[in-house]
Amino acid sequence: MDNDITDLQIRLTHQESTLEALNQVIIDQQRMIDQLTLAVEQLNERMKAMADSNIAHQSDETPPPHY
């Protein structure tokens, strides 16, 4: 009986350790997702700013003289 209780306590300890490790992985992944989301938003803002620049759209350009 004492062996069974000891085995259960050991298993519980291992499960708690595993859960804590998995929780830390999830926290790290969420932090990375947040950073990547911010980076994508910043890139989108840059792209929008570039689209509003003085460069004409390709369809508005006149073809070169050799055409």
Q: Token pair of 56, please?
A: 């004409």
d(CA 14, CA 6): 12
CA dist 38 → 11, 13, 43, 51 (Å) = 41, 38, 9, 20
| Nearest to 42, CA basis, from 31, 53, 50 | 50
Q: How far apart are the first and last CA of the chain?
A: 93
Residue 54: the pLDDT is 66
Per-residue pLDDT of 45-54, as tens digits, reads 999 888 766 6
Residue 51: the pLDDT is 75
Those residues of the chain that have pLDDT short of 50 are none
